[in-house]
Structure 1
Amino acid sequence: MASIRPMTALDLFHFNQTNLDHLTETYHIGFYLEYLSRWPHLCRVIEGHDGTIEGYILGKLEASPFPPPNPPYDPDTNPNPNYLPWHGHITALTVAPGARRLGHATKLTESLERQSDAHDAWFVDLFVRAENSVAQELYRKMGYSVYRRVVGYYNDDSDAFDMRKPLSRDKDRKHVRENGENINVEPSEVW
């Protein structure tokens, strides 16, 4: 039986099984350490019964910068459509090929959603490769929808879908939209 636990710095030396997939973005060690130091409550691993890391999630809570002394905006008062209010973000989520189809991705995502909701975030978002239909279907089943297509987002010039799931604060669902696949933006427009 696998279990979710907080990620530690030592786990970074045991990610090889999870990072071998061609759709997994792998980062330098400083990137992982920054997340562990700034958002430790949003970084989790799922550990197999034998102690191997079968998957992990890196997340953060953030908002677009705003000029002082203005408070973070209410969605009804900010005219910039690309300005992001307080939200949870899934930076990385991956499961080792041998541990897929066991519900690990769902459990890790739900743990980040609960933390984001507890911190009064409007929604949780993530970026997924436009060609990664398996991941898109997983997220759709969990209540995510495509908000916009980011053209040339990845280093290899592939497009990304910005997918979002509203949380309890967004009672009127102001941060999701229909047909987001058809709303194209440049990476420079995404904060």
Structure 2
Amino acid sequence: MANFRRFRPDDLNKLSKCNLDPLTETYELGFYLQYHAKWPSLFQVAEDQHGNIIGYTRVLADVYQFSEHYLPWHAHITAVTVAPEARRLGIGKLLSQQLEAAADANDAWFVDLFVRSTNHKAITFYKSMGYSVFRVRPDPSSEDAFDMRKPTKRDVKREHIRDDGEKYEVDPTECLVSLA
């Protein structure tokens, strides 16, 4: 059984079980604290009965205005991570549903994330939850990334998603990327 709650700064010492996964991007401590300071309600953890962090989700809610590909108000998932021993229990799904509900409550247009094009498990997971590929961020020196999106209630006309996103490549400099 898992307990879901907001991240606290003292949780930083408990994230290692989740961050040991080779597909999880790990950052310096200040990065996590910045998310906590700016979007405390969108940084959630799941802990087991012993108080160990077995999953977390880190989200930013923002409007990007740094390119001609301006994106409207939305929630961007920078991480959904579950410790190996706690996988297949629905924790990742519950964490994702919590942040989608928060995005809806804050009147976001969609929830998005970037995932490595070779991370088939994550792609399958997100597609099962209603996400679709919106565009591809090519990277000749590393791995391509898919920008996956799920519309929120506000996007009634489904203007911020597309069915054939694998066909749309975007210049890598036009994307803020945090790979899942």
TM-score normalised to structure 1 length? 0.88
User: Equivalent residue for 2:56?
Assistant: 56
**How many residues are paired up?**
176
Matched, 1:169 2:165: no
Whose radius of gyration is greater, 1 or 2? 1
After TM superposition, list the pairs within 5 Å mapping 1:1-191 onto structure 2: 1-65=1-65, 82-152=69-139, 157-191=142-176
The one-character-per-residue Cα deviations of 1:133-176 (angstroms, maximum 9, x if unpaired) are: 101111111100000111129xx621110000000100000000
Residues 152 and 186 of structure 1 are in contact (CA less than 8 Å); yes or no, is this contact kept in structure 2?
no
Deviation at 1:186, TM superposition (A): 2.0
Deviation at 1:49, TM superposition (A): 1.2
SS at match of 1:25: coil
Cα RMSD (Å) of the superposition? 1.5
SS at match of 1:46: strand
The one-character-per-residue Cα deviations of 1:83-130 (angstroms, maximum 9, x if unpaired) are: 100001101111001110000110001111111111100000001110
Unaligned runs of 5+ in 1: 67-79
For residues 175 and 117 of structure 2, what CA distance do their matches in structure 1 show? Answer: 16
Return structure 1 stretches of 4+ with deviation > 4 angstroms: none
Deviation at 1:185, TM superposition (A): 1.3
User: What percent of counterpart residues are identical?
Assistant: 50
Deviation at 1:81, TM superposition (A): 6.6
TM-score normalised to structure 2 length? 0.94
The one-character-per-residue Cα deviations of 1:11-30 (angstroms, maximum 9, x if unpaired) are: 01011110111100001000
Counterpart of 1:44 in structure 2: which amino acid? Q
Deviation at 1:7, TM superposition (A): 0.4
The one-character-per-residue Cα deviations of 1:28-82 (angstroms, maximum 9, x if unpaired) are: 000000000000000000001121110101101111238xxxxxxxxxxxxx872
Deviation at 1:3, TM superposition (A): 1.3
For residues 23 and 107 of structure 1, what CA distance do their matches in structure 2 show? Answer: 20
